[in-house]
Amino acid sequence: MKERASTFLWLAIAAFVVLLAELLIMQAGLASRGMEAGQVSLVLAHWGFTCALWGLGICLLLRLAKKKGFDIFESRVTAPPKNWIIVLMLLALFIAASYVIMGVFRPLAGFAAMYRLFGDYAAMAFIAQHIYYLFEVALFLAIIAFGQKFGEAAFRKSMIPWGGILCGLTWGLVHIFTQGPAVGAVAAIYGLLYGITYLLLKKNVRYAYPVILLMFVL
């Protein structure tokens, strides 16, 4: 059982490494040069390469997990109404927190930023950025799902959000090193809440993925 548990821990860590693989693409400087010069093509190239790399990584990880006996799509359970009420309250909390931090509805802030950078190409950049978010959130969910499987296999406690704890720690640490302790702490809390959402929705990724995506982009 311990060996099987460690397999899922390594899968979760691998998903995190895939997430960090964007750092390799960043070395080319496409995004930074594109934003500095207002050249949307360079930024789109960065996002495109990143999505391709992340997509390949996700497919390989899901395939490997399935060979190890875990299909991330296996749960088809529908959460009870009381769970959905809590999830919707969490979603409202995310939206309110984003509004307080930014002073404006997050998508509006994002579009305004794209318009300042790219002018008439803002809509194209905004859409591309959210396609990029689709892949990023998929990796968050992979970390959560594999981390949850590890925690349950290793400690036999299914009500603890092991995946959320792991997602919070990994994502939080990255933000601590790149954007400072305050941002890192917020990222860690968000990761934990994503994991709680996954549990509340009975590990059914058909529901958990779109909800976590909304939490992330709103």
pLDDT of the residue at 90: 95
pLDDT of the residue at 172: 83
pLDDT of the residue at 3: 52
pLDDT of the residue at 1: 45
In the chain, where are the structural domains located? 2-217
pLDDT of the residue at 4: 80
pLDDT of the residue at 103: 83
pLDDT of the residue at 6: 86
pLDDT of the residue at 208: 96
Three-state SS for 85? helix
Low-confidence spans in the chain with pLDDT less than 50: 1-2
What are φ and ψ of residue 136, in 5° steps? Answer: -65, -45
pLDDT of the residue at 34: 64
pLDDT of the residue at 84: 97
CB 136 within 8 A of CB 63: no
pLDDT in tens, 24-45: 887 777 677 767 777 888 889 8
- Cβ-Cβ contacts under 8 Å for 41 (sequence gap 6 or more): 34
Q: Which of 28, 214, 38, 45 is nearest to 114 (CA)?
A: 38
